[in-house]
DNA sequence: GTCGCGATCATACCTAGGTATGATGCAGCC
DNA sequence: GGCTGCATCATACCTAGGTATGATCGCGAC
């Protein structure tokens, strides 16, 4: 799943943030475009969900400002589709004819805010500021995790197996017994794991394993 | 901060969940009471925020069903007060005269749901089910963390210092150099840490340190 | 003041971890 | 066929971790 997000390219100028506007009303699009540009934000304008889903999305910090009522796929449905495709842009909803259940549904699904039209410019800017902050955090987390995963991908099957047991706290000889190897071989795999994962200490390896969710966490706990 | 929640007592019969109902309308209270009891849930009834805040809250799995409009402190204000007091019961709001900004504010502040009166019984029961599930998770997390913290509290200042460096991946001799001790003494402290924290392996210690947020991640000291 | 506890250090001994060198076997690929 | 990468194991050597025993010192409690 997880639709590609225009990745793989060189760094690009991805410093500034982009606000993706989806509204079927050209007037609204124009005024939002103007509002965001006035504070130095870049924008992308779309008139429908289909239009947004049609092309690639930028791989940059940003957020989505989304009208609930759209031709074809509604804003709430679009929210679900984006989530399922692994597109994590924070979403700010706006609506002219919303009700409480609609807003609650949107917020439950992770929306940053839900504004009723007409709204004050400042309210929208505040919401976008919050959304961009959330996105920055999300992207930082995702990048860190992706780096670790990339290292993990370079491991062979055996090395991953050994890594799981080692980060669970088992001794080399225990690992050797469990998978039917000599202790020397386990040591070699273990050394390879440390090198490929880019860590020098077991503590760091454990932390990376936790981030990956690959720790075996077998009961080596407590006593009294 | 964190108002006591009727702790310290023996286990009690805390198996079933309790629903705390806060509404100034006696009829609503009665019908909700009946609804929840019909599905085997215990209830506590309150007519105002002050009444709820007046007495101790049970230390049991549960959730709060809260009217937004209350005499004196409003439901939304009560939500904030409970949060500040460290009372983490999930909250379901209900209102007869709500609007979108009100619901959005409540959801942003962590409410589980926000129901408009009149609501269907089933919707309320679904919301309570979700709230109780969230509370069970919250309590499990809190208990696990509290257990670890209790172990950490038994450490002396030196032992905590050593634990920070050890879980950061430093070797005994490096720790010794940093705090001006001999390596042998560091080993003793380290052994005490392992024993008091109830772990047998460094991997487990690192995980507990992560849960506590006391890993040193290179560089400076702190901790008392 | 004596006791207990924490903190400190030393000697000694054992286990565990890490790496270097060298070697064999196997599977996939050009 | 030969090359490469993975996996396997051995011997050897060194470092790091862990514990036991014993000892000194300071501080607060009784």
Which residue, among A51, A53, A56, A32, has the nearest Cα to A43 in the 3D structure? A32
CA nearest to B202 within chain A: A169
Residues A23 and A122 in one domain: yes
Residues A137 and A166 in one domain: no
Which residue, among A222, A223, A221, A216, has the nearest Cα to A175 in the 3D structure? A216
Note the pLDDT of residue B214.
Answer: 78
Range of A5-14, A28-37, A52-61, A153-162 with top mean pLDDT: A28-37
Which residue, among B163, B140, B138, has the nearest Cα to B153 in the 3D structure? B163
Note the pLDDT of residue B49.
Answer: 94
Residues B71 and B130 in one domain: yes
Residue A9 maps to a domain = no
Note the pLDDT of residue B60.
Answer: 93
Residues A160 and A97 in one domain: no
Whether residues A114 and B104 touch (CB distance < 8 A) is answered with: yes
Domain around B27: 18-141
Pairs of residues, one from chain A and one from chain B, whose beta carbons lie less than 8 Å apart: 79
**Omega before A9 within 30 of 0, i.e. cis:** no
Whether residues B203 and A116 touch (CB distance < 8 A) is answered with: no
SS3 sequence of chain A = CCCCCCCCCCCCCCCCCEEEEECCCHHHHHHHHHHHHHCCCEEEEECCHHHHHHCCCCCCCEEEEEECCCCCCCHHHHHHHHHHCCCCCCEEEEECCCCHHHHHHHHHCCCCEEEECCCCHHHHHHHHHHHHHHHHHHHHHHHHHHHHHHHHHCCCHHHHHHHHHHHCCCCHHHHHHHHCCCHHHHHHHHHHHHHHCCCCCHHHHHHHHHHHCCCCCCCCECCC
Is residue A216 very low, low, confident or very high in pLDDT (cuts 50, 70, 90)?
A: low
**Chain B 187-206 residues whose Cβ is under 7 Å from strand C:** 188-189
Q: What is the CATH number of the domain that holds A36?
A: 3.40.50.2300
What's the rounded Cα separation, in Å, for the pair B70 and B28?
13
Rounded (to 5) percent helix, strand, coil in chain B: 50, 10, 35
Of B98, B200, B203, the CB nearest to A100: B98
Q: What is the pLDDT along chain B (224 residues), one digit of tens a residue?
A: 455 554 444 444 445 899 999 999 999 999 999 999 999 999 999 999 999 998 888 889 999 999 999 988 999 999 999 999 989 999 999 999 999 999 999 999 999 999 998 999 999 999 999 999 999 999 999 999 999 999 999 999 999 999 999 999 999 999 999 999 999 999 999 999 999 999 999 999 999 999 998 776 653 333 32
Contacts of B113 in chain A (CB under 8 A): 104, 108
Which residue, among B123, B10, B110, B128, has the nearest Cα to B61 in the 3D structure? B128
Which residue, among A179, A88, A191, has the nearest Cα to A132 in the 3D structure? A88
Residues A95 and A181 in one domain: no
Residues B36 and B100 in one domain: yes
Query: From the CA of B201, how many Å to the C1' of D23?
Result: 30
Query: From the CA of A224, how many Å to the C1' of D24?
Result: 30
Residue B205 maps to a domain = yes
Indicate whether A8 pLDDT > 70. no
pLDDT, tens digit (0-9, with 9 covering 90-100), for A35-76: 999 999 999 999 999 999 988 888 999 999 999 999 889 999
Edge-to-edge strand ranges of the sheet holding A18-22: A42-46, A18-22, A62-67, A91-95, A113-116
Residue spans of alpha helices (H) in B69-108: 75-84, 100-108
Residue A11 maps to a domain = no
Which nucleotide is closest, CA of B173 to its C1'? Answer: D16
Beta bridge partners of A116: A95
Is the CA virtual torsion B162, B164, B165, B167 positive or negative? positive
Query: From the CA of B191, how many Å to the C1' of D20?
Result: 13
Last residue of a domain, one of B112, B141, B170: B141
Instruction: Assign B132 to helix, strand or coil.
Output: helix
Note the pLDDT of residue A24.
Answer: 94
B88 and B76 in contact (C-beta within 8 Å)? no
Distance from CA of A221 to the nearest CA of B (A): 5
Note the pLDDT of residue A213.
Answer: 85
Q: Would you list which residues of chain B are within 8 Å, Cβ to Cβ, of chain A?
A: 98-101, 103-104, 107-108, 113-114, 116, 166-170, 198-204, 206-207, 210, 215
Query: From the CA of B185, how many Å to the C1' of D20?
Result: 14
Residue A199 maps to a domain = yes
Last residue of a domain, one of B80, B112, B141: B141
**Cβ contacts of residue B188 below 8 Å, gap of 6+?**
none
Question: Please, which positions of strand D sit below 7 A from a protein CB?
Answer: 6-12, 16-20
Whether residues A221 and B199 touch (CB distance < 8 A) is answered with: yes
Last residue of a domain, one of B141, B164, B186: B141
Which nucleotide is closest, CA of A194 to its C1'? Answer: C18
What's the rounded Cα separation, in Å, for the pair A111 and A108?
7
What's the rounded Cα separation, in Å, for the pair B138 and B87?
11
Contacts of A217 in chain B (CB under 8 A): 207
Q: What is the CATH number of the domain that holds B169?
A: 1.10.10.10
Whether residues A201 and B103 touch (CB distance < 8 A) is answered with: no
Residues A83 and A179 in one domain: no
Percentage with pLDDT > 70 across chain A: 89
Residues A70 and A167 in one domain: no
What's the rounded Cα separation, in Å, for the pair B59 and B4?
9
Residue B118 maps to a domain = yes
Note the pLDDT of residue B16.
Answer: 85
Instruction: Assign B44 to helix, strand or coil.
Output: strand
**Chain A 89-128 residues whose Cβ is under 7 Å from strand C:** none
B192 and B140 in contact (C-beta within 8 Å)? no
Residues A51 and A116 in one domain: yes
**Chain B 104-163 residues whose Cβ is under 7 Å from strand C:** 156-159
Residues A134 and A163 in one domain: no
Distance from CA of A181 to the nearest CA of B (A): 22
Which residue, among B206, B19, B175, has the nearest Cα to A210 in the 3D structure? B206
Mean pLDDT of A109-132: 96
Residues B105 and B53 in one domain: yes
Residue A4, exposed/middle/buried by CB under 10 A (0-12, 13-18, 19+)?
Answer: exposed
Whether residues A104 and B113 touch (CB distance < 8 A) is answered with: yes
Residue A94 maps to a domain = yes
Indicate whether A217 pLDDT > 80. no
What's the rounded Cα separation, in Å, for the pair B68 and B114?
9
Residue A105 maps to a domain = yes
**Chain A 166-195 residues whose Cβ is under 7 Å from strand C:** 171-173, 184, 187-188, 190-191, 194
Query: From the CA of A217, how many Å to the C1' of C7?
Result: 34
CA distances from B116 to A58, A138, B16, B98 (A): 39, 33, 27, 7
Residues A118 and A193 in one domain: no
pTM to 2 decimal places: 0.83
Q: What is the DSSP letter of B78?
A: H
Note the pLDDT of residue B2.
Answer: 52
Distance from CA of B56 to the nearest CA of A (A): 30
Whether residues A104 and B108 touch (CB distance < 8 A) is answered with: no
Residue A178 maps to a domain = yes
Count of domains observed in chain A:
2
Indicate whether A103 pLDDT > 90. yes
- Taking the CA atoms of residue B20, residue B23, residue B25 and residue B27 in that order, the dihedral angle to the nearest 10 degrees is -30
User: Among A100, A165, A200, A223, which would you mutate to test the B interface (most chain B Cβ atoms within 10 Å of its Cβ)?
Assistant: A100
**Chain B 161-190 residues whose Cβ is under 7 Å from strand D:** 171-173, 184, 187-188, 190
B92 and B128 in contact (C-beta within 8 Å)? yes
Q: Which residue has the higher pLDDT, B11 or A132?
A: A132
């Amino acid at each position: 799943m997880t639709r590609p997000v225009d990745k793989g390219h060189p760094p690009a100028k991805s410093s500034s943030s982009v606000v993706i506007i989806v509204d079927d009303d050209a007037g609204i699009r124009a005024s939002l475009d103007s509002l965001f540009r006035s504070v130095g934000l870049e924008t992308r304008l779309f008139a429908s969900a289909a239009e947004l889903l049609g092309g690639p999305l930028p791989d940059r910090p940003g957020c989505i400002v989304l009208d609930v009522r759209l031709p074809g796929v509604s804003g709430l449905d679009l929210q679900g589709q984006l989530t399922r495709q692994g597109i994590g842009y924070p979403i700010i909803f706006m609506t002219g004819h919303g009700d409480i259940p609609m807003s609650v549904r949107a917020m439950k699904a992770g929306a940053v805010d839900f504004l009723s039209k007409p709204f004050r410019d400042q309210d929208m800017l505040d919401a976008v500021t919050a959304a961009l902050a959330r996105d920055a955090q999300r992207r930082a987390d995702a990048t860190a995790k992706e780096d670790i995963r990339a290292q993990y991908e370079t491991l062979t099957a055996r090395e991953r197996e050994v890594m799981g047991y080692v980060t669970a706290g088992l001794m080399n000889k225990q690992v050797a017994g469990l998978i039917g190897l000599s202790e020397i071989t386990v040591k070699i795999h273990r050394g390879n794991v440390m090198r490929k994962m880019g860590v020098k200490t077991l503590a760091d390896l454990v932390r990376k394993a936790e981030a990956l969710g690959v720790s075996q966490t077998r009961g080596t706990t407590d006593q009294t």
